[in-house]
Structure 1
Amino acid sequence: MKTIKGPGIFLAQFAGDAAPFNSLESIAEWAAGLGYKGIQIPSWDARLFNLDLAAQSQTYCDEITGMLADKGLAITELSTHLQGQLVAVHPAFDAQFNGFAPPEVHGNPAARQEWAVTQVKNAAVASRRLGLAAHATFSGALAWPYFYPWPARPAGLVEDAFAELAKRWKPILDVFEDNGVDAAYEIHPGEDLHDGVTFERFLEAVGNHPRANILYDPSHFVLQCLDYLQFIDIYKERIKCFHVKDAEFRPNGRSGVYGGYQGWVDRPGRFRSLGDGQIDFGAIFSKMAANDFAGWAVLEWECALKHPEVGATEGAPFIDRHIIKVTEHAFDDFAASGADRALNRRLMGIAE
């Protein structure tokens, strides 16, 4: 068995224009001071990271890993959540998603997609240069507007959507294969890969590609009323990244899973800081340890109520408490009597 690495922290929700959140070095010092051992880097944030340069320059990557090592930190993964989203965008969301891309491709879906594909491929190369085993991303979505079928979906729409999604992602996954890095899709509402069934559809469409894997975040399953512990049992071989994020689901007589278009504070399902929600992290970390999960436990903070810096301060010790240092021997080894096949046969009454 392996001991999970951590605690780590995803920097996306903390990066900003004010110190110490406006440069990789200063935000790294802040994270290390809170007790984090790893950082997951949002590759789209130029204040923290230059993805294109990282894909081209081993020197740049070595400088970053060296600077972080001096602070007692490692990179857990790079993230292309925003760029991955743009690999597949339904036209209904074109205007909203323009902000995820540079101005020169706004209003041009084909150019925006080409930029996004290049970005995710660059992330595969940069991850290899940084010595990383996995990468965090989104799948994008073509079928999401039709997830609740009214009016009824035209026959074949879902199949065609996943065929197109696979067509776009297969060449990207091949680049990840060439670089020895797993692409871990966060299974997330709003993406075509939003539960186990949709992940399986995609996996089949890309020919069970070995680099098509999962970023496991139980908070999104709580809000869908999906069994987040059984999910681990089913997909343990494909889980390569782990976001530690809490959530709660409090249905009432006026609103349920879909949230009634309400803000996050008023929705029945909402994200919380670690320990403030309903998720059984003791059971999750136990399953991860039993399954030899070799990656990082990474805080993603998105609480509807608590201040982010308080959530970050509480997050490191919370994760550290839940990481199980796995045993190297069985608890009853002291009573072992050694192997004796003849004795075994006598004990079972089997004649020689």
Structure 2
Amino acid sequence: MKTIKGPAIFLAQFMGDAAPFDTLPRLAQWAAGLGYEAVQIPADPRLLDLQLAATSQTYCDDLHGMLAGYGIQISELSTHLQGQLVAVHPAYDSLFDGFAAPAVRGNPPARTAWAIEQLKLAAQASQRLGLSAHVTFSGALAWPYFYPWPQRPAGLVEAAFAELGKRWLPILQVFDEAGVDVCYELHPGEDLHDGVTFERFLDEVGQHPRANILFDPSHMVVQQMDYLAFIDIYHARIKAFHVKDAEFRPDGRQGVYGGYNGWVNRAGRFRSLGDGQIDFKAIFSKMAQYDFPGWAVLEWECALKHPEDGAREGAAFIREHIIRVAERAFDDFAGSGVDHAQLKQLMGL
């Protein structure tokens, strides 16, 4: 069995204009000071030159050396924003346009091509950095039709997933050549947001071995899914892990859909670690049971608590939940030493 690596922290929610959140070296030093051992780095030009990382081993070696100076590793690179832009429904064009490079904004075909190229660069950068997994979003073409009213025309969902698979298959092939898994964060707003949609996608990409899952139980709580059963079903495809808490408290006025409320007032909302309802002891037990090979990465998103408090508390929370797996069975001392002949005798054979 494998012991989960960690704690690590996703830097996307902590980047800012003021120190220590304004540069990667300062963020690394800050994270190390809180007890983190790795950082998950968004492919944001403020932290990482993705083009250079994809083409220069010297740049990647220098990056590793700088982080190692603070006692920090890289858990994964993230292209959540670029992955979102691989597939954008026209209803969201203006809302997502700011995620793209300025040169392709207002031009959806050029924006899609740019996003796909960014993912391919991320595959090559991950390979040069010695990483085995990459985290991202799938994008969405069918999301505006997630509720079957008005009645969906026959074939609409199938056509959307066929197009999504068509766009992602060449990307998955580049990741396969690089020896890196693509881990989709199953997230409301993405066409891949639960097990059923992930399976639809797998069918469209020929059960591609590099199409995998970033497991984040918080998104399952707000959808009222069984996140422990999810691990049982999909553990072979879970190659990345966001440790994020959530709660769901419906009442007589709202439920899963939240009544258009903001995050503070929704029935389902994200919380800092330990402040929500998720059974992390059971999750970490299942991850140990199934030999999860990667990092336990804090993703902080809470409508109430200050992010620096959430980050500080999160390192200790994750460390306390990681199970150092046993090297031998607990009852080895009671082994009978029965040989093959005795086994047959015990069965009367």
Residue of structure 1 equivalent to 2:40: 40
Residue of structure 1 equivalent to 2:324: 325
For 2:191, give the aligned amino acid.
Answer: D
Compute the displacement of 1:81 (Å). Answer: 0.1
For 2:171, give the aligned amino acid.
Answer: I
Compute the displacement of 1:191 (Å). Answer: 0.2
Alignment of 1:187-226 (within 5 A): 187-226=186-225
1:157-215 CA distance string (max 9 Å, x none): 00000000000000000000000000000000000000000000000100000100000
Q: Secondary structure at the match of 1:17?
A: coil
Deviates more, 1:194-203 or 1:338-347: 338-347
- List 4+ stretches of structure 1 deviating above 3 A: 345-348
Q: Secondary structure at the match of 2:265?
A: coil
Q: CA–CA distance in 2 between the matches of 1:315 and 1:97?
A: 30
Q: CA–CA distance in 1 between the matches of 2:130 and 2:344?
A: 51
Residue of structure 2 equivalent to 1:280: 279
For 2:108, give the aligned amino acid.
Answer: P
Compute the displacement of 1:30 (Å). Answer: 0.0
Q: CA–CA distance in 2 between the matches of 1:186 and 1:245?
A: 12
Residue of structure 2 equivalent to 1:58: 57
Residue of structure 2 equivalent to 1:302: 301
Q: CA–CA distance in 2 between the matches of 1:241 and 1:146?
A: 28
Q: Secondary structure at the match of 1:111?
A: helix
Alignment of 1:266-277 (within 5 A): 266-277=265-276
For 2:133, give the aligned amino acid.
Answer: A
Q: Secondary structure at the match of 1:190?
A: coil
1:231-260 CA distance string (max 9 Å, x none): 000000000000000000000111110011
Q: Secondary structure at the match of 1:252?
A: coil
Residue of structure 2 equivalent to 1:249: 248
Q: CA–CA distance in 1 between the matches of 2:301 and 2:36?
A: 18
Residue of structure 2 equivalent to 1:151: 150
Residue of structure 1 equivalent to 2:230: 231
Q: Secondary structure at the match of 1:253?
A: coil
For 1:21, give the aligned amino acid.
Answer: F
Q: CA–CA distance in 2 between the matches of 1:344 and 1:173?
A: 49
Compute the displacement of 1:150 (Å). Answer: 1.1
Alignment of 1:65-104 (within 5 A): 65-104=64-103
Q: Say whether 1:22 aligns with 2:22.
A: yes
Q: Calculate percent identity across the aligned residue pairs.
A: 74
Compute the displacement of 1:103 (Å). Answer: 1.5
Q: CA–CA distance in 2 between the matches of 1:9 and 1:262?
A: 28
Q: Secondary structure at the match of 2:13?
A: coil
For 1:189, give the aligned amino acid.
Answer: P
TM-score, normalised to structure 1, is 0.98
Compute the displacement of 1:320 (Å). Answer: 0.3
Residue of structure 1 equivalent to 2:11: 11
Q: Secondary structure at the match of 1:160?
A: helix
Q: CA–CA distance in 1 between the matches of 2:249 and 2:317?
A: 23
Alignment gaps of 5+ in structure 2? none
Q: Secondary structure at the match of 1:237?
A: helix
Compute the displacement of 1:70 (Å). Answer: 1.6
Residue of structure 2 equivalent to 1:120: 119
Q: CA–CA distance in 2 between the matches of 1:344 and 1:105?
A: 70
Compute the displacement of 1:343 (Å). Answer: 2.8
For 2:27, give the aligned amino acid.
Answer: I
For 2:258, give the aligned amino acid.
Answer: G
Q: CA–CA distance in 2 between the matches of 1:213 and 1:345?
A: 43
Q: CA–CA distance in 1 between the matches of 2:341 and 2:128?
A: 55
Q: CA–CA distance in 2 between the matches of 1:346 and 1:14?
A: 65
Q: CA–CA distance in 1 between the matches of 2:121 and 2:341?
A: 61
For 2:71, give the aligned amino acid.
Answer: G
Q: Secondary structure at the match of 1:265?
A: helix
Compute the displacement of 1:127 (Å). Answer: 0.1
Q: Secondary structure at the match of 2:203?
A: helix
Compute the displacement of 1:347 (Å). Answer: 3.3
Alignment gaps of 5+ in structure 1? none
For 2:49, give the aligned amino acid.
Answer: N
Q: Secondary structure at the match of 2:151?
A: coil
Q: CA–CA distance in 2 between the matches of 1:205 and 1:344?
A: 48
Q: Secondary structure at the match of 2:77?
A: strand
Q: CA–CA distance in 1 between the matches of 2:314 and 2:339?
A: 50
TM-score, normalised to structure 2, is 0.99
